[in-house]
Chain A
Amino acid sequence: MSELLTPPVLIALSIALPFLAFLGCLLLPRQDNLRDWLTLVLAVALFATVVTIFTQFQAGTSFAVEVISFSPSLSIGFEIERLGLVFALVASSLWILTHLYGVGYMRGNKEKKHARFFGAFAFAISATMGLAFSSNLLTLFLFYEALTVSTYPLVAHKETAEAKSGARVYLGILMGTSIALLLTAIVSTYVVAGRLDFVPGGLLSDPSVGPVNSTTLVVLLALFAFGIGKAALMPFHRWLPAAMVAPTPVSALLHAVAVVKAGVFTMLKVGVYIFGIDRLAETGASQWLMWVAAVSILTASLIAMQQDNLKKRLAYSTVSQLSYITLGMALANSLGVLGGGLHIVTHAFGKITLFMCAGAIYVATHKTEISQMRGLGRQMPFTFIAFGIGALSIIGLPPLTGSWSKWTLLLASADAGQLVIMGVLMLSSLLNVAYLLPIFARGFYGDGIKPAQSTWRERLAEAPVLCVLPPCITALGCLILFFVSDDIVAFLQPIATTVTAGAQ
């Protein structure tokens, strides 16, 4: 059996399994149970595949395949490296939970068109896997756009006027930035370097490429940084709040994990493997990006405080948190990259918990505004406790995993000698406290409970178990990850060290 699982087969499986789930959903539009079970089985199989890849990778197997030649000098191909593997592990593991949650949510909420929903969802996961394992910018761009197109029907799912206009903003910004800026950036890189591979130490710093002056670097970096709309760097962040009209499972997995993380993942990949972190540090080409990210962090947090709609508040919080990762890249040192990579994982677990809780509240009570949620925690204690854990992890309090990535980023900015950035990060943590904790606190205080329902059992009015269990598991995940964050950093370490080795 294990001889069959050669690297090409495993890579093919990791993209094909979710694609099969997509086909299954297309072919089984009416058989709800069969379709949902099939997807679950495929989701578990996908996770198993990625874990197998991980163990083989740890054993030293190298994963690189060229699939199709796009032009004489460009190909569509895959190569697994550490950052992509971590991203794939996060996305595939959370897909299982989100699928379960999605089944509970869609049924509990009596949403329509399940087949289209789960089909597009699976397609998006397939695109995420391809993106994580891309060996060059062309392949990455292919899956990046596939991800945009496949998530459009999810955002427009409700087919109301609001959903349609939200979906238009979503598509308009994501496709607009990617066509106008990202594609230009990629073609320019190709014109400058003659190829598009991800090279440890940076393609543009590779001796074979020849000197690239620092003005070109700054312009290219700007095209990339704003072109990667999925990273939601201000001012191209509006699509993310707009996408909140989607059903909550979409917001949870795609707009807190897969899509947005695909954006910042691309950002890190570009910083590390196209520019080269040392090159950025030497030339200072990413200095401005650091400040843009810092402004983005604070502004988004401030906007989040004003949102009464829970999902919108979480969305702005995501915009802010994504800029942490962009900031990590822009700091241009190895700790920054590691902190950014780790933040992909920790923020994923924290934010997906928050979104799942928001969805559970909606399924149980149909409440979307924070001001309506007073006292709700006594009805839905599991949901609110999970929410609290997620919130604390995002804020960055030990013993929750979010603390490690913030800590690493703080160290990185200290390393770079950027005291102001350290201040920004700390201030942002305070702002996180200010906009996340009140939701949790409000749930347990206030007078939302009728006096008659005084005992526990009478008060309990949770959402269906499939909606409540997954956030509890991810909240637990935040706790467990706290103790293995070191291992993740150790696993990612070679990216940062090859960075330094490559420059010498």
Chain B
Amino acid sequence: MNFLPPFVLDHIPLLAILSPLLASPLIVLFRNRNIAFVISWVAAAVSFVLSAAMLSMTIGGDTLSYHIGGWAPPLGIEYRVDAASALVLVVISLTAFIMMPYAHKSIDAEIDRRHHTLFYASLMLCFCGLMGVTITGDAFNVFVFLEISSLSTYVLVALGAKRDRRALAAAYDYLILGTIGATFFVIGLGFIYMATGTLNMVDLAERLANEESNRTVRSAIAFIVIGMGLKFAMFPMHRWLPGAYTFAPSAISVFLAATATKVALFVVMRFLFNVFSVEFEFERDMLEFIVMPLALIAMFTGSFVAIYQSDFKRLLAFSSIAQVGYMLLGICLLNVEGVSAALLHMFNHGITKGALFMAAGVLVYRQKDALVAQMAGLGKRMPLTAAAIGIGLLSLIGVPGTAGFASKWVLLNATLEKGWWPVTALVVMSSLVTVFYSWRLMETMYLQPAPEGAAKKEAPLALLIPLWVLTIATIWFGLQANITIGAATAGAEALLNRGFLTDTPIIVGMPGR
């Protein structure tokens, strides 16, 4: 980290959030789409470098603590970073960085020019919100950032209206359900505030330790899980997701699919493992008897419904619902292997789904829609895009040599380690369902003749390069999974061993008073 100047080092956690937050008003001031793009890209790059720096500082098991404005917690707001949150920060900022040039090109076709600066401004706010949710050590602050990201997401989804008016309805759906989710979450926060009188996570953990049997606390757990469950599309609260992912502008589908649900899932982990505790009987039972069955159902229904979709983006959205099920299952195992499988799959699924949604965006760019029927003969017409889709689908199935395999490996290992072999059987069976919808697409792309008058030109490089960066990452992290598995295990250990709550975090910059 020696290349960073001392001033930056002293304020790393804050600056990672501040760079997109400041970028947003700047973009509005300049009102020029090219400048907006450059500012956004730089902001994403800065956040990424700082997040990576934080990951390298925390991966050994340390926790960073930053006191905002020189006010010491629990009175002041604290940013706390452990290996798990640093990993999620890296995923968010890296996705934003890779996606930005893609967004610049793809919104040409999908959004009115006069809305372009607005698009970037909202995107930066959404980005900032997601980063903030992940980094903060203050429970109420989570809610604030969550709303920043959600409100801007509603705008971003609605911007898809130029291509398809249904985007407005989708955004409205998302708005209503998202708000309900946020309300549940904040009610949960209210309950724990009532029980403890504090909102700092470390402080909360300390005071909640003996409140297991407190009904208020139990209700809080339920409210928080359900509120966040709505945000990460836990079955059966997933109804908003297919519409939002299908009709949002392609770049936004990429960004949301790769980050938004994962961040909400991460918040749940943070609360369940650190603020509350896995020692809570109530929590264990809830995870084992309510959440896990729902996760298993999601794995199957998501994939089954995906088989019958005629829109490629919608198909991917349903597949995401199934994939969230895998992550949730990992969490429900409540062991290091399971939680690391969840974290690993967040990353691996992020790059895989990111690549697939980018490919869907390429189709939208070339032929206005991404219907499955329009993908006929794609292997011949747009060989590079088709190959990227093919690799992405293999990764969804979990064919060895792709990132999806690494996640599946760790997850299967975790279920067997736990001794839950029927769950193992269900996981492998659900991935067979994945084969169905993936192979339907493969056949369409490679074995069906192209329809009359179909677009024959390969996508522009500005779209292809980000797409292939993610596709190659999918293969790379499938073979060289050592890096990601190591980081995910470190993250899982940080969450489960509660290194987050340590009394002796590394205080970044000046300790507050």
Q: List chain A positions with a Cβ less than 8 A from chain B.
A: 68-72, 76, 138, 141-142, 145-146, 149, 153, 156, 159, 164, 168, 171-172, 175-176, 179-180, 183-184, 187-188, 190-191
In the complex, what distance in Å separates the CA atom of A183 from the CA atom of B405? 10
**Which listed residue (A71, A146, A187, A190) contacts B482, Cβ 8 A?**
A71
CB distance from A156 to the nearest CB of B (A): 6
Chain B residues with CB under 8 Å of A171's CB are 435, 439
Q: Mark the stretch among B47-55, B81-89, B153-161, B393-401 that contacts chain A.
A: B393-401
Which of B93-101, B210-218, B423-431 is found at the contact surface with chain A?
A: B423-431
A141 surroundings in chain B (CB, below 8 A):
400
List of 8 A-B pairs having minimum Cβ-Cβ separation, nearest first = A142-B400, A69-B482, A187-B412, A71-B485, A191-B416, A180-B428, A145-B399, A70-B481
Q: CA of A193 to CA of B154 in the docked complex: distance in angstroms?
A: 50
Give the CA-CA distance A87 to B174 in the complex, in Å. 57
Partner among B429, B439, B443 whose Cβ is within 8 Å of the Cβ of A180: B429
Residues of chain A lying within 8 A (CB to CB) of residue B429: 180
Q: Does B432 contact A (CB under 8 A)?
A: yes
Q: Give the residue name and chain of the A residue nearest to B429 (CB).
A: A180
Q: Are B401 and A146 in contact (CB under 8 A)?
A: yes
Using Cβ atoms and an 8 Å threshold, which residues of chain A touch B406?
Answer: 70-71
Residue of A nearest to B394 (CB): A149
Contacts beyond the supplied A187-B409, A187-B416: 9 A-B pairs with Cβ under 8 Å? A69-B480, A71-B406, A72-B489, A146-B400, A149-B399, A164-B443, A179-B397, A183-B412, A183-B428
B127 CB within 8 Å of chain A: no
- Asked if B486 lies at the interface with its beta carbon under 8 angstroms from chain A, I say yes
Distance between A318 CB and nearest chain B CB, rounded to angstroms: 25
Contact B413 A145 (CB under 8 A): no
B417 at the interface (CB under 8 A from A): yes
Q: What's the least CB distance linking A188 to chain B, in Å?
A: 6
| Cβ-based interface call for B479 (8 A) | yes
Q: Is B446 an interface residue (CB 8 A)?
A: yes
B417 touching A184 by the CB < 8 A rule?
no
**B176 CB–A CB distance under 8 Å:** no
Question: Which chain A residues lie closer than 8 Å to B409 at the CB level?
Answer: 71, 187
B413, A179: Cβ atoms closer than 8 Å:
no
Residues of chain B whose beta carbon lies under 8 Å from any beta carbon of chain A: 394, 397-401, 406, 408-410, 412-413, 416-417, 424-425, 428-429, 431-432, 435, 439, 443, 446-447, 479-482, 485-486, 489
Chain B contact residues: over half helix, strand or loop, or mixed?
A: helix
Q: Given contacts A149-B399, A187-B409, A190-B413, is CB(A179)–CB(B428) below 8 Å?
A: yes
Query: Does the CB pair A191–B435 fall under 8 Å?
Result: no
Question: A72 to B413, alpha carbons, bound, how many Å?
Answer: 14
A17 to B19, CA, bound (A): 49
Tell me, in angstroms, the Cα distance from A190 to B412 when the chains sit together: 11
Q: Which residues of A contact B446 (CB under 8 A)?
A: 153, 156
How many angstroms from the CA of A25 to the CA of B359 in the assembled complex?
25
Interface pair B401/A184, CB less than 8 Å apart: no
Chain A hits for B394, CB < 8 A: 149
Instruction: Flag if A176 contacts B424 (CB, 8 Å).
Output: no
Task: Give every chain A residue within 8 A of B489 (Cβ-Cβ).
Answer: 72
* Residues of chain B lying within 8 A (CB to CB) of residue A153: 446
**Is B413 touching A191 in the complex (CB atoms < 8 A)?**
yes
> Which residues of chain B come closer than 8 Å to A159, judged between CB atoms?
447
Complex contacts, A168 vs chain B, CB 8 Å: 439, 443
Q: A70-B481, A168-B439 are in contact. Are A176 and B447 (CB under 8 A)?
A: no
Query: What would be 28 A-B contacts, judged by CB atoms less than 8 Å apart?
Result: A69-B480, A70-B406, A71-B409, A71-B482, A71-B485, A72-B485, A72-B486, A138-B400, A142-B401, A145-B399, A145-B401, A146-B400, A156-B443, A156-B446, A159-B447, A164-B447, A168-B443, A176-B432, A179-B431, A183-B412, A184-B412, A184-B428, A187-B409, A187-B412, A187-B416, A188-B416, A191-B416, A191-B417
Give A141 to B439 CA distance when docked, in angstroms.
20
Docked complex Cα distance between A357 and B417 (Å): 52
B410: chain A residues at CB < 8 Å are 71
Neighbouring B residues of A138 by C-beta, 8 Å: 400
B425 touches A71 (CB 8 A): no
Chain A residues with CB under 8 A of B447? 156, 159, 164
* A68 close to B486 (CB less than 8 A): no
Q: Does the CB pair B435–A175 fall under 8 Å?
A: yes
Taking the closest CB of chain B, its distance from the CB of A18, in whole angstroms, is: 16
Report Cα–Cα, A352/B422, bound state, in Å. 42
Minimal Cβ-Cβ distance residue in A for B435: A175
Complex Cα spacing A76 to B406, Å = 13
A residues within 8 A CB of B412?
183-184, 187
In the complex, chain A residues whose CB is within 8 Å of the CB of B431: 179
B417: chain A residues within 8 A (beta carbon)? 191
In the complex, A191 Cα to B419 Cα: how many Å? 10
CA distance A179 to B446 in the complex (A): 23
**How many angstroms from the CA of A142 to the CA of B435 in the assembled complex?**
17
Q: Are A72 and B482 in contact (CB under 8 A)?
A: yes
The residue in B394, B400, B425 that gathers the most chain A C-beta atoms within 10 A of its C-beta is B400
Q: Which residue of A lies closest to B440 (CB)?
A: A168
Min CB gap A112→B, angstroms? 12
A142 and B401 CA atoms in complex are apart in Å by 6
Q: Distance (Å) between the CB of B152 and the closest chain A CB? A: 37
**Nearest B residue to A164 by beta-carbon distance?**
B447
A431 to B424, CA, bound (A): 42
CA of A274 to CA of B400 in the docked complex: distance in angstroms? 20
CA distance A184 to B425 in the complex (A): 8
Partner of B413, one of A70, A175, A180, A187: A187
Q: Which residue of A lies closest to B479 (CB)?
A: A68
**Whole-angstrom distance from the CB of A481 to the nearest CB of chain B?**
34
Q: How far apart sit A379 and B399, CA to CA, in the bound complex (Å)?
A: 48
A53 to B302, CA, bound (A): 49
| Least Cβ–Cβ distance between B394 and chain A, in angstroms | 7
